[in-house]
Amino acid sequence: MITVLGSGAFGTALAISLASNGPVTLWSRDKAQVQRMQAEGANTRRLPGVSLPAQLNVTADLPPMSPGSICLLSVPTQKLRDLLIEHGRALAHCHLVACCKGVERVTGYGPTRIIAELVPTATAAILTGPSFAHDIARGLPTALTLACKDAVVAQSLQTALTTPNLRIYRTTDATGAELGGALKNVVAVACGVVIGAGLGESARAALMTRGFAELSRMAVALGAEQETLAGLSGFGDLVLTCTSEQSRNYAFGMSLGRNKCFDTSITVEGAATAQAVSEKARKMQIEMPITDVVVALIDGKLRVSQAMDMLLSRPLKEE
Ligand SMILES: NC(=O)C1=CN([C@@H]2O[C@H](COP(=O)(O)OP(=O)(O)OC[C@H]3O[C@@H](n4cnc5c(N)ncnc54)[C@H](OP(=O)(O)O)[C@@H]3O)[C@@H](O)[C@H]2O)C=CC1
Ligand SMILES: O=C(CO)COP(=O)(O)O
């Protein structure tokens, strides 16, 4: 039995897909939300338009977890610590699969390090890659990366999480997988700004390419393998998120570029991640000009025209 903690768009979508393999439990902290999902047979708040299958049990009571149980943690990165502080003891001997893409603002940690700190007896893994919740939930074909430092656990999770529409690749490079997934969100915000401000698709392509160089520079310095970054969790997800208005990071960037407000209740992982990574880069003396500009735009310290001037007037160099 697989348990998914967090009934947001992604957790619900993964639970729906996994239910085609057997029974799945989807846990939410919100009793009223659980009652609504049970009554409506759908998660109309976070994933409207998709029915919940019969194999999916939605609950607000965390079921007992036996050692080796698989538990997907599908909350935003900035909320993962709170979730584990509250429920970590119940998850002590599980395989905990983070389903989030970000760097924690306060600590600079990625999801697997947060798990290792708070639930050291569990095995930490991450599931990431190009995938919109609605696509997964509608049964459209999707390929993801499952990363776990323990090669044996990685293989068993790969098998357990593969479904008719989810093709899972595996790697032991958890650092690379989680950094690619986190940092591409920052580039997606920047690309949204460019399109929102009417700067054109050529500028976006340049930003995606230089953004990939920038995220690779940082991730490799932190121990990631370049091969992982060039795969689904890095390059693959960068392409999806920087080119689709379905992406909340990209849509948030478009609003910034148009000088419009954005609904603050919507999850935008790239905003907090940009701040965390910009600080980390400064300390490590690694150049991350695109990330720095995203932080300054979000903080209202730069206008879009100034941001572009800053990026375009950097010293000329070899590619
Ligand atoms: N949506 C997508 O297409 C994809 C999302 N992801 C990643 O998945 C992660 C989650 O995103 P997504 O599902 O879209 O986000 P949503 O905004 O749709 O949902 C977030 C969920 O987290 C729950 N939550 C927040 N804090 C806690 C907590 N302390 N304890 C328990 N539950 C909590 C919320 O519960 P409540 O309603 O009670 O606040 C809500 O159900 C992000 O890192 C995102 O990058 C990855 C791939 C695709
Ligand atoms: O990570 C995602 C696609 O792979 C989802 O992106 P958003 O969080 O920007 O919507």
Q: Residues annotated as binding site for NADPH?
A: 10, 29, 101, 133, 248, 269
Which pair of tokens denotes residue 73?
């943690």
State which of 172, 201, 235 marks the end of a domain. Answer: 172
Same domain, 16 and 164: yes
Same domain, 154 and 28: yes
Q: What is the dihedral of CA 230, 168, 174, 215, to 10 degrees?
A: 30
* Band of pLDDT at residue 312, cut at 50, 70 and 90: confident
Which ipTM value was assigned to this complex? Answer: 0.99
The DSSP call for residue 69 is -
Same domain, 17 and 138: yes
Establish if 99 belongs to a structural domain: yes
Q: What share of the chain is helix, strand, coil (3-state, %, to 5)?
A: 50, 15, 35
β-sheet bridge partners, residue 25: 3, 57
- Give me the pLDDT at residue 313, please: 81
Q: How many CA atoms lie within 13 A of 2 on its CB side?
A: 28
Strands 95-98 and 123-128: parallel
Same domain, 118 and 181: no
Q: How far apart are CA 229 and CA 220, in angstroms?
A: 9
Give residue-wise pLDDT tens across range 36-49. 999 999 999 999 99
> Whose alpha carbon is nearest atom 8 of ligand 2?
248
* Mean pLDDT of the 149-154 span: 98
Probe target for ligand 2 pocket from 79, 241, 269, with the most ligand atoms within 8 Å of CB: 241
CA-nearest of 54, 67, 74 to 4 is 74
Give residue-wise pLDDT tens across range 193-247. 999 999 999 999 999 999 999 999 999 999 999 999 999 999 999 999 999 999 9
* Mean pLDDT of the 168-188 span: 98
CA angle, corner 160, sides to 154 and 164, nearest 5? 125
Instruction: Give the torsion sign (CA, 226, 187, 111, 104).
Output: positive
Establish if 318 belongs to a structural domain: no
Residue 54 has pLDDT above 90, yes or no: yes
Probe target for ligand 1 pocket from 14, 28, 29, with the most ligand atoms within 8 Å of CB: 29
Is residue 204 a contact partner of residue 193, using CB atoms and an 8 Å limit? no
- Give me the pLDDT at residue 1, please: 85
- Give me the pLDDT at residue 30, please: 98
Please work out whether the CB of residue 130 comes within 6 Å of at least one atom of ligand 2.
yes
- Give me the pLDDT at residue 147, please: 98
Cα of 303 to ligand 1 centre, how many Å? 30
Residue with tokens 């044996």: 152
Cα of 199 to ligand 1 centre, how many Å? 31
CA angle, corner 84, sides to 151 and 144, nearest 5? 40
State which of 115, 143, 172 marks the end of a domain. Answer: 172
Same domain, 49 and 145: yes
Which pair of tokens denotes residue 114?
């947060």
Q: Taking the complete model, does pTM exceed 0.95, yes or no?
A: yes
* Band of pLDDT at residue 13, cut at 50, 70 and 90: very high
Give residue-wise pLDDT tens across range 77-122. 999 999 999 999 999 999 999 999 999 999 999 999 999 999 999 9
> Whose alpha carbon is nearest atom 6 of ligand 2?
247
Which backbone phi and psi does 277 adopt, to 5 degrees?
A: -75, -35
Active-site residue flag, 317: no
* Mean pLDDT of the 120-129 span: 98
Same domain, 300 and 282: yes
Contacts of 120 (CB under 8 A, 6+ apart): none
CA-nearest of 163, 132, 161, 137 to 43 is 137
Q: How far apart are CA 253 and CA 242, in angstroms?
A: 10
Q: How far apart are CA 174 and CA 180, in angstroms?
A: 10
Please work out whether the CB of residue 46 comes within 6 Å of at least one atom of ligand 2.
no
Residue 282 has pLDDT above 90, yes or no: yes
> Whose alpha carbon is nearest atom 4 of ligand 1?
10
Give the percent of the chain with pLDDT over 90.
96
- Give me the pLDDT at residue 207, please: 95
- Give me the pLDDT at residue 11, please: 98
Contacts of 282 (CB under 8 A, 6+ apart): none
Is residue 3 a contact partner of residue 25, using CB atoms and an 8 Å limit? yes
Cα of 251 to ligand 2 centre, how many Å? 10
Q: How far apart are CA 199 and CA 194, in angstroms?
A: 5
State which of 172, 189, 224 marks the end of a domain. Answer: 172
- Give me the pLDDT at residue 146, please: 98
Residue from 79, 184, 301, 317 carrying the catalytic annotation: 184
Same domain, 7 and 154: yes
Probe target for ligand 2 pocket from 249, 250, 269, with the most ligand atoms within 8 Å of CB: 249
Please work out whether the CB of residue 10 comes within 6 Å of at least one atom of ligand 2.
no
Establish if 319 belongs to a structural domain: no
Q: Which ligand 2 atom is at minimum distance from the Cα of 188?
A: 9
Domain that holds residue 131: 2-172
Please work out whether the CB of residue 145 comes within 6 Å of at least one atom of ligand 2.
no
**Average pLDDT for the chain:** 97
Residue 315 has pLDDT above 90, yes or no: no
The DSSP call for residue 84 is H
Give the percent of the chain with pLDDT over 70.
100
Please work out whether the CB of residue 99 comes within 6 Å of at least one atom of ligand 1.
yes
Which backbone phi and psi does 73 adopt, to 5 degrees?
A: -105, 105
Same domain, 128 and 164: yes
Counting ligands in written order, the one closest to the CA of 12 is 1
Domain count, the chain: 2
Residue 316 has pLDDT above 90, yes or no: no
Establish if 12 belongs to a structural domain: yes
- Give me the pLDDT at residue 291, please: 98
